[in-house]
Structure 1
């Protein structure tokens, strides 16, 4: 017999995974089916007896895999000991371009983190059109609403796994960090977490007009209009395919959708004035994260993998918003011709949104620690997501670092141990062990072969972006938005 514990909905039975106990596929909300498919999440129904929690729940509809069932709103819990009390809790919010999330991903297995003395929760949320398309007759940002429901579940159930509901840290990377940035700006998240770790915050938050136009394009791909009642009749995989077709044409939409054409996704949180009242940067500067503790980080080479995948031309730098512009990048003399595009796009998409978020939160009264990963094991350098995989202890899952040689593997292991220990210290006590960030010294934890605390490494980019502010992306050019159909 496995390990049992009782949640508010009923008893579940998990299994042992090395040093920790894991409970998989635990529902935190009802299945989003039928008329509720595009609705806000609803409470899960209680069950009698013991529910098996040894298998992962199916991930939400997403590219690259066939949809399995419809019980998408589940989570997985790794705990050192469900009989303990008062353990810190990490709630992981997956990245994936607002297109993917999967608790079963072996690169995001929570066992190693949990063995460090914390409860780790990884929650599915609706991604793609299911979670982020703007549809008549449905609330915006359903993926964010799912995350709120998972956080509320943690408040109600953390103690059943040994966790302390008063000591919850949300942790996310890329779209997961963008989701957390949105949560910080949402009044509905108040009291659901105490701390946040944000790796590589994307600078893309959509206006309602831009989101309307993108949703209309996706619906038109399959001969529909963006109405929830109309799309609810479609098979989820058909909607995934329609979004994938539009994603494949993004690079051709520079004049119409601006910087969205320079990203790998047509989805982002929508600043709708209701679920998400405003973009995170102004919200945090006005105190939305006051009294919270934030650990904010990015990598040096954020755009390296995307550069070849997206094929963005150098001239696209002038079409993203905000931007210092191509001329200022050239005139700065800070980058060679080969470096200019990748650095400008890394600055716009991840590096400067992350830095500006840290500074806005600091101005608004939060305590902030800043970090940057400089270490890398391949020619691409310190790539997007590598910092998170080092913290999780899974950076060599496919043997890439082993293939780079024993010196690289030894460095990765040492650096991962340092990063994991510092992140766990932050989760437990709100202090990772280095000097907090401030606007005078800009002290930053620099993760390299020899970690150090130094002035912010990307000073040349920071200067180029001085005075620019991130906010809400709208439609570009003179083309007007397609009207949103009435519900």
Structure 2
């Protein structure tokens, strides 16, 4: 028997897991408004973490407020880091995503016992979790297991198999083993954890070689689960196959640059690392007169990591004739003297209505701003409506009008704010990373 009133263990990862923790860590958490009801829509949350860390066992993803709106909420653990996304020659790639699919199978078989409708499942996730959702939708995976998806800041973390093999070789050479199941089974998890970030220094020194030079673990385009990034409609005839909401935050990269020493940072180097030319950097400068080097670095990084992939996913959905919706989370955080802006991850506390969670404390501050509640209520209403009906309450995105929801107080509608950046990326080597 298991005490279901408390979270289980996180999956193995540095900082959150220790030898002796419960090995049965691939668990789900369920919130239901009323276990005696039936036919309720279901939201299944995929957490982010650069395919490297994080867990569903945190109050950051407390589903109580969403459940109170008449939704059954499920959060889940999946393997991360080398265990989940490292290349192993005789094991499936994307094992973390296979864990997600296994959890969806459990939801399909069991969610009716919690009042949920197994045929009305909507996926929702952020960052790496959002990327996984976009990838599963585009690949047409898991027929019958979910109907639509909400991708909050999906990233460009789809890498070719040869990159994954190269990263794995760096790991296994340090471990002194071959990249096989049998060899790695003899290595303690904490030993793998100690070296799984070793490739970062090598990748940072060869930025033009890698799709995501600061992230050693990514979703692998292995030709089986994923055959292309979700926005690569040139290689995928069907495009995004289900209804989708894609969203980004205005200042995505400030989460990563606010504490960084950028005195030696070269925006051109950042651009080159993500496949952009010197011409593109000049276009960024011309389009943003007077921009500082630090702000240009953050802008290019925001576009490269999340803002462009979010737009590309919406474009792919619209091009496939599906109902695709786009939003921009533009509420500026007061934390750190306003230095974070509307940074990566800031939309999570608003999605879950968790203003006093650990994540909110870091991104918003110890005090709950008076405008938190109305914006959170509006976002929650839109996402639960989408889960229920497929309509979040604002116009569909199409490549002509390019309408987006702007999450601020009060919420508004506007045309796509990324048009200038999109023109810069159009035709560049980084336009459709594969």
TM-score by length of 1: 0.81
Query: Could you list the per-position Cα deviations for residues 75-96 of structure 1 after superposition, in whole angstroms to 9, with x for gaps in the alignment?
Result: 1111111211000000101101
- Alpha-carbon shift at residue 193 of structure 1 (Å): 0.8
Unaligned runs of 5+ in 2: none
Looking at structure 2, the residues matched to 335 and 375 of structure 1 have their Cα atoms a distance apart, in angstroms, of 24
Match of 2:283 in 1: 328
Do the aligned partners of residues 429 and 301 (structure 1) sit closer, same or farther apart at CA in structure 2, a change above 3 Å counting?
Answer: same
Q: What do the CA deviations read for 1:179-226 (whole angstroms, capped 9, x no partner)?
A: 112211334322211110000010121111111111111122222232
Deviations 1:430-480 (A, max 9, x none): 11111111111111101122210111123321222234575445xxxxxxx
- Deviations along 1:34-80, whole A, 9 cap, x unmatched? xxxxxxxxxxxxxxxx6542232211111223332321211111111
**1:47 corresponding residue in structure 2:** none
What corresponds to 1:484 in structure 2? none
Verify: 1:296 aligned to 2:246, yes or no.
yes
Q: 1:167 to 1:425 in 2, by over 3 A?
A: same
**Corresponding residue SS for 2:231:** helix
Aligned to 2:329: 373
Aligned match for 1:271, one of 209, 214, 221: 221
Residues of 2 paired with 1:335 and 1:227: CA distance? 53
1:452 corresponds to 2:407? no
Instruction: Name the CA shift for 1:188/1:461 in 2 (closer, same or farther; >3 Å).
Output: closer
* Structure 1 residues without counterparts, runs of 5 or longer: 1-49, 474-487
* Post-superposition CA distance 1:328-352 (Å, at most 9, x none): 3234345613321111111011000
Note if contact 1:88-1:119 (Cα within 8 Å) is conserved in structure 2.
yes
Q: Does 1:160 align with 2:99?
A: no
Give the 5 Å matches for 1:307-318. 307=257, 308-309=259-260, 313-318=266-271
Report the secondary structure of 2:339's partner residue. coil
| Structure 1 residues 56 and 231: CA distance shift in structure 2, 3 A | same
SS for the counterpart of 2:393 is coil
SS of 1:446's partner is strand
Do structure 1's residue 258 and structure 2's residue 236 form an aligned pair? no
2:312 aligns to what?
356
Distance 1:327 1:430, change over 3 A: same
Contact 1:395 1:401 in 2 (8 A): no
Query: 1:171–1:253: structure 2 CA closer, same or farther, 3 Å change rule?
Result: same
Determine if contact 2:220/2:226 at 8 Å carries over to the other structure.
yes
Deviation at 1:288, TM superposition (A): 4.2
Q: How does 1:75-474 map to 2 (within 5 A)?
A: 75-247=28-200, 250-255=203-208, 257-261=209-213, 263=214, 265-283=215-233, 286-290=237-241, 292-307=242-257, 308-309=259-260, 313-323=266-276, 325-333=280-288, 336-338=291-293, 339-377=295-333, 378-398=338-358, 399=361, 403=365, 409-468=369-428, 470-473=431-434
Q: CA separation in 2, counterparts of 1:164 and 1:417?
A: 24
